[in-house]
A and B are shown apart, each in its own frame.
Chain A
Amino acid sequence: MTKSWFKTTIASVALIAASGAAWAEKANDTLRVGFTKELENVDSYFNSSREGVVLQRAIWDGLIYRDPITNEYSGNLATSWEWIDDLTLEFKLREGVTFHNGEVFNADDVVYTVNFVSKEENGVKTQRNVNWMKSAEKIDDYTVRINLKEAFPAAIEFLSGPVSMYPNEYYAEVGPSGMGLKPVGTGPYKVVSVVPGQHFVLEKNDGYHDSPKGKASITNVDIRTIPDVNTQMAELFSGSLDLIWQVPADQAEKLAQMDQFTVSNESTMRVGYLSMDAAGRSGDTPFTDLRVRRAVNHAINREELVGALLKGKSKVVWTPCFPSQFGCVQDTATEYEYDPEKAKALLAEAGYPDGFTTEFYAYRNREYAEAILSYLNAVGIKADFKYLQYSALRELNMTGDVPLAFLTWGSFSINDASAMVSQFFKHGSLDDARDDQVLADLTIADSATDDATRIEHYGKAIARITDQAFWAPMFSYNTNYVSTKEVEYTPTADEVLRFTTMTWN
C-alpha cells in the first residue's frame, strides 16, 4: 500500500517536471492551441462549427479572398472574375498551384467541387452555403464558369468564405470521410495527422502560392480538444498550451491581470436574440399578441447585459442581423428602451396583469439565459427553464414547439444580411413569425443585383420585423483570445483564428 502510494508520488512529480520542461515550444517552432468543442469532421462541407471554419481557412483556399480588415475582395485561387449575366460568373484561375498531395490545381477541380457540393443529395451540412450554385463548367484548363440557380448577389461573399476548392481526383477517391481523416487542400498549412474530434497537427506548406492570405510563419500547429475551460487554463499555466480562445469574459479579465499572458478581445458576428412564437406554432401562446412581444423587448436591459456579462467588444444589437453585414440597415429598426413599467403595462393591456408562465429554452451561455430569465421574471413572465443541446433545441424549433427561446446565430462569418435575416424569416422550418410582408421584401432583396434595391428591401424587412417585435435582438458576442507572451497575434472581427498571421515574439 505504502509502496504504491510512493510510486504514484514519484510518477506525479515526474509528470510535473516533464510538463515544466515542455514550457516554451517556441524552441520547437510548435504552436499548441486548445479547442473547446469536438469537431465532427474536418471536411469543411460536413461540419457546421467554428473550429471547422478555422481549419478550413488554414487547409483550403477559396476562389476569392476577403480581407478581414478592409473587407475588400481579391483573387486567391482565381486571379480575376466577371459576371457574364445575372446567373453566370466566369473565373480566370491561378496557374502553378498544387495541392498538398502534388495534384495540380486547374478548372477540373473547381468543376468537380462545385458540382459535388451543390447537389443536395451529397448532404453538405449547411445547404445555404452551397445551394445557390447550380453547376460549374470548364471553358479551358484555367477558365471556369459557375452557373447560379437564381440571381444571388452575395455569391462573391460566399465564394470567399465557406466555398473552398477540393482536389478532384483525390476527393472522388476518398469522399468526405476520407477527406476528414486525411485532408488535402492548397492552403497555407497541410495536415500531418488527425485524431477525429481530438487532435489535429498541421505543418507549414512551404510551397504555398502567392495568395493574399500570406505565407505562414510558425512551422507546426498542434491543436487539442479540451472541453473544460478550467483545464484549458490549467494547461496554459503549466505551459503545455500556447493559445486558447473563446475564453469567458470573467476568466479572461483575471488572466489579463497576470503578466505572462496576452489577452485580446475582438467582436464576432454572432448575435444573441430571443425568438418568440408569433405565429402560434406551439399552440395557444401569449406571444401571438404584439403587445406581449413588445413587453418582452422592453423588459430586457441590454446595456446591462453587455456591460456586465458579455463585456469586451460586444454591442447592443437592435436588428435581426449583425450591423456590419451588407443590408443590415440600422435606421429602420425600432429600438425598445429598457422600461419594466412599460412592459408591465403592455402585459396588462394584453390581458395578463399578473403575467403568465411559459417554457423558456436555451442551449448556450446558461448564465446569460439566467440573467434574461430574471429580467422577464421582474415584469411577471415566469419561465419554466429548459436547457438543451443545440441539436435537440434546433429539432424542437423546426417542429415549432418552442414558445420562447434564447438563441444565437453567427452567420458563418458571412458579411451579408441574407446569411441571417433570410435564414430565419423566409417561412422556413425555423421561422416562428411567418410574416408574408417580410417574406416578400426578403425575396426581392436576396435576388436583386442592384445594391440600392437590396438595401431598400432589407431595410423594409428589418423595419417590419422589429416593429412587430418578432424577435428581441439583444447583443453581439465577442471572443477572448489568450496566449503566452511569446505568441504575437491580432485577432479579426470574424472569429476565425488565422494561424498564418501568428508569429513568435
Chain B
Amino acid sequence: MTQTDMTDPLLQEITGPTPGQMLRKRVFGHQGLLIGSIVVGLLLLVAIFAPLLAPHDPYAQSLMTRMNPPVFLGGSWDHPLGTDHLGRDYLSRLIYGARVSLMIGLIAALISGVIGTAMGVAAGYFGGRVDMVVTFLINVRLAMPVVLVALAVVAILGGSLQVVIMVLGFLLWDRFAVVMRASTLQVRGREYVAAARAIGASTPRVILSEIMPNIANNLIVVVTLEMAHAILLEAALSFLGLGVQPPTPSWGLMVSEGKNMMLFEPWMVLIPGAVLFVLVLAINLMGDGLRDVTAPENRS
C-alpha cells in the first residue's frame, strides 16, 4: 500500500482551493482594497440617495443664519456641519456635492477610457503605422499641461457641469492609451490569439473576446486612478471659479467659498477638503488593491 504523499505539489493543486476561492482570499486579505471599496461604496450610496439623506434643501438660502458653526464647534444639531456663507446647510451641500464629484469622476473616466483604450489596443494590436500615429498622439497629449488646457477651454466655453466633464474626458485618455498599448503588445503574440486567428476569427472578435478579457485587469486599475484624477481636477477648476458654477454644490467650490473666512472659520475649508481627501484616497487604495489582487505574479 502506498501512502498518498500530501506534500506532492500536483496533488495539492488538484485538491487545493479553486481559483475563485483564492481570489476571494486575496481580496479579503487585502486591507487597502477593503477599506477603499467600503468608503467608495458608502459615498456612492450617499450620492445615489442624496435626496433621502440630506436634512435640508442644499439650495435653500437663509441669510439670517449664515456661517453657523458645526456641532463639534458649538453649533446646533439642526445643522450638524453648520451653514455656509449664505446660510445653506453644509451637510446637505456636502451630500449633494458627492453626486457632482462622483458623476464627474465616473463619466470623465468612462469617456477617456473609451478613447484611450480604443487607441491603445489599436496601436498594440496592429503595430506599424497605426502604432506610430497613436504614439505621436500620445506624445502630443503628454506635452499639454492638463490644468492649463482645461482652464483655457473652460474660460472660453464657460464653466458648467457638462463642459467640465467633456473637457476632462477628452484630456485624461493618455494613461489609458499607454497602458492598453503595452498590455496588448504583451498578449497579442500569445498562443490563444494565434489559435483564434488560425480558426478564422475576425479581427474584432479576436480583440473583443481574446485580447480584451486578458488586459481588463490593467484597465480597471487605470479607470480608478483616472477617476481620482478627474475628481481632483474638477475640485481645482471649481476652486478657481472655472468649474461647476454656483449654486450647484461642489466640494471644490465649497473650499473656494470658505477660503475668504479661512483665518476665522477654518472648518469651512477643512470639512469639504477632508471629504475630498477621503474620497480620492479611497479610490486610490481601491485601485492599488485591484492591481495587487489581479496582478499575475500574485495569482499563484
Contact = CB atoms under 8 A, between A and B. Distances in A.
A173 interface: no
Given A374-B59, A377-B59, A251 B263 contact: yes
A373 interface: yes
Interface in A341-389: 366-367, 370-371, 373-375, 377, 384-387
Interface string A112-126: 000000000000000
A307 B63 CA distance: 9
Query: Could you say which interface size class chain A belongs to?
Result: 20 to 34
B263 A377 contact: no
Contact of A250 (B63, B64, B67, B158): B67
A370 B246 CA distance: 7
A484 to B, nearest CB: 17
B257 A250 contact: no
B246 A371 contact: no
B188 to A, nearest CB: 45
B31 interface: no
Contacts of A307: 63
Interface string B242-277: 000111000000000101111110000000000000
B108 to A, nearest CB: 22
B241 interface: yes
A230 B85 contact: no
Interface string A464-505: 000000000000000000000000000000000000000000
B66 interface: yes
B263 A233 contact: yes
A302 to B, nearest CB: 11
B86 A370 contact: yes
B294 interface: no
B86 A367 contact: yes
Interface string A291-304: 00000000001001
B61 interface: yes
B247 A377 contact: yes
A310 to B, nearest CB: 10
Contacts of B160: 384
A234 B260 CA distance: 12
B246 A373 contact: yes
Contacts of A178: none
Interface in A261-305: 301, 304-305
Contacts of A386: 158, 245
Given A367-B85, A370-B86, A387-B241, A304 B158 contact: no
A371 B260 contact: no
Contacts of A104: none
Given A308-B66, A386-B158, A371 B263 contact: no
B263 A370 contact: no
Given A367-B257, A373-B247, A386-B158, A234 B263 contact: yes
Contact of B63 (A229, A304, A385, A387): A304
A250 B85 contact: yes
A254 interface: yes
Dominant secondary structure of chain B at its interface with chain A: loop
Interface in B55-81: 59, 61, 63-64, 66-67
Nearest to A229: B260
Interface string A383-407: 0111100000000000000000000
Nearest to A387: B241
A374 B241 CA distance: 18
Contacts of B64: 304, 308
Most chain B beta-carbon neighbours within 10 Å: one of A248, A307, A366, A377: A366
A435 to B, nearest CB: 31
A60 B22 CA distance: 85
Contact of B260 (A251, A305, A377): A251
Contacts of A250: 67, 85, 260-261, 264
Given A373-B246, A374-B61, A251 B66 contact: no
A375 B59 CA distance: 11
A376 B158 CA distance: 21
B131 to A, nearest CB: 42
A251 B86 contact: no
Interface in A109-148: none
Given A308-B64, A370-B246, A371-B86, A230 B241 contact: no
Interface in B160-211: 160
A309 interface: yes
A230 B247 contact: no
15 contacts: A230-B262, A234-B263, A250-B67, A251-B261, A305-B63, A308-B64, A309-B66, A370-B86, A371-B63, A374-B59, A374-B247, A377-B59, A384-B160, A386-B158, A387-B245
Interface of A: 229-230, 233-234, 248, 250-251, 254, 301, 304-305, 307-309, 366-367, 370-371, 373-375, 377, 384-387
Given A309-B66, A371-B61, A373-B246, 19 more contacts: A229-B260, A230-B260, A250-B67, A250-B264, A251-B260, A251-B263, A251-B264, A254-B263, A254-B264, A304-B63, A304-B64, A307-B63, A308-B66, A370-B247, A371-B86, A374-B247, A384-B160, A385-B245, A386-B158
